[in-house]
Amino acid sequence: MKLIRDLFKDYRFAVAFGIVCLILLLAILSAFSPYDPRNAYQTPRGLPPSWQHPLGTTWLGQDVFWQLTFAVRNSLTIAIIASIISRLIAIIVGVLAGYKGGIVDRVLMSIGDSTLTLPIFVVLVLVSLVLRQWVRQLVNLGLLLAFFAWAWDARVIRSQVLSLREREFTFTSVLSGMGSFKLIFKQYLPFLLPVVFTTLINNMSWAIGMEMTLSYLGLGIDPSIPTLGTMIQMAIYRQAIFLGLWWWILSPIAASVLLFVALYWISLSLSEYLDPRARMQRIGGKQ
C-alpha cells in the first residue's frame, strides 16, 4: 500500500494512471459495441462528431468511437502478448547465461548481440512479408514482435544474476541443499522482477508502435481487424484527409499518443522509484 501511495505522489504517475484507466475502459467498452467492427455501411458515411456518433463516422459507414474501442483492445492485446513472451525469453536466457556462465553464456550472448546489431525494423519487414498470411492473426504478430525484443533485457538480467551469484545468500542456499531451480525462483526472481516490470512497459509501447508501422506498409494484421495501426492506415488509404474527415484519422492518432505518453510516464516514475539515485539526479541534488 505504501508503494502505491508513494507512486501517486509523483504527478506523472497519477496522470498516466488516469489515462491508462480511461484507455482500459475504452477497451472494455468494445464488448458493448452496437456495431460489428468488420462490417461497413452500418451508419451514414462521413458524419462529423455529434451526440449520436461521439467521434463521427468514417467514409466506410463505421462509427469511429466504437471502432476505436476495438482498436485499442486489439493493440493492447498484441502489446501484452509481445511484451510478456519476450520478458519470459529474456528471463530464461539471462538467468541461464548468468548462472551457467562459460560456453552457454558466450553462445547465448553472441546470439543476443547479433540481434541487437540487426536493423530490427528491416528484419521485421522481411519476415512479415514472407509470413504474410501467418502474421495476419493478432497472436502471431505478438509472437513475432516478442522474438526480436528480448536481447537487451537478457543482457541486463544476466549482469544482475552475475552479481547475485557472488552474494552470500547464494552460497548459503547452495550449501544448505537448495536446488538450482528453487534458488532461481525463490531467491533471484524477486531481485529481477522490478527491472522486468519497467522494461515490460517500455516494450509494450515499442510493440504498439511497431504494429502501426507495419500496418502502414500493409504488413502485419489483417486490415479488416481494427487496431490503432490498421485504423490509421485505413484512414490514409481512403484519403480521409483529402475528404476532410479529420476525426477519422486524428482519433486513433490522439488515442495512441495518449497511450504512448501514459506508458512512458509510468515506466519513468517506476524506474525512478526503484532507483532513487535517478530521482536525485532529476531534481539536481547532490548524491
Q: Rounded to whole angstroms, what are the CA distances from 65 to 55, 134, 231, 234?
A: 5, 29, 11, 15
DSSP line for 247-282: HHHHHHHHHHHHHHHHHHHHHHHHHHHH-HHHHHHH
> Residues 25, 88, 130, 174: which binds other proteins (CB under 8 A)?
130
Residues 6+ apart with CB under 8 A from 187: 164, 169, 170, 173, 178
> Residues 62, 173, 203, 256: which binds other proteins (CB under 8 A)?
256
Radius of gyration, alpha carbons of the chain: 22
170 scored as a contact of other proteins (CB under 8 A): no
19 scored as a contact of other proteins (CB under 8 A): no
User: Residue 61 CB, nearest distance to other proteins (Å)?
Assistant: 23
Q: For residue 243, which phi and psi values (nearest 5 degrees)? A: -80, -10
151 scored as a contact of other proteins (CB under 8 A): no
User: Residue 164 CB, nearest distance to other proteins (Å)?
Assistant: 26
Nearer Cβ to other proteins, position 95 or 149?
149
DSSP line for 122-173: HHHHHHHHHTTTGGGSHHHHHHHHHHTS-HHHHHHHHHHHHHHHTSHHHHHH
167 scored as a contact of other proteins (CB under 8 A): no
146 scored as a contact of other proteins (CB under 8 A): no
Nearer Cβ to other proteins, position 3 or 122?
122
133 scored as a contact of other proteins (CB under 8 A): yes
In contact, 179 and 187? CB cutoff 8 Å: no
Q: Pick the stretch among 22-30, 75-83, 86-94, 252-260 that binds other proteins (CB under 8 A).
A: 252-260
User: Residue 77 CB, nearest distance to other proteins (Å)?
Assistant: 19
User: Residue 187 CB, nearest distance to other proteins (Å)?
Assistant: 32
In contact, 165 and 99? CB cutoff 8 Å: yes
248 scored as a contact of other proteins (CB under 8 A): no
Q: Pick the stretch among 20-28, 77-85, 127-135, 188-196 that binds other proteins (CB under 8 A).
A: 127-135
92 scored as a contact of other proteins (CB under 8 A): no
> Residues 77, 261, 275, 279: which binds other proteins (CB under 8 A)?
261
76 scored as a contact of other proteins (CB under 8 A): no
Strand partners, 81: none
131 scored as a contact of other proteins (CB under 8 A): yes
Nearer Cβ to other proteins, position 146 or 164?
146
What's the residue count for the chain? 287
Torsion over CA of 71, 75, 78 and 83, rounded to 10 degrees? -160
C-alpha–C-alpha distance, residues 146 and 286, integer Å: 40
In contact, 275 and 194? CB cutoff 8 Å: no
User: What does the binding site for other proteins look like in residue numbers (CB under 8 A)?
Assistant: 12, 110, 113-123, 125-127, 129-134, 205, 209, 212-213, 216-219, 232, 241, 249-250, 253, 256-257, 260-261, 263-265, 268, 281-282, 284-287
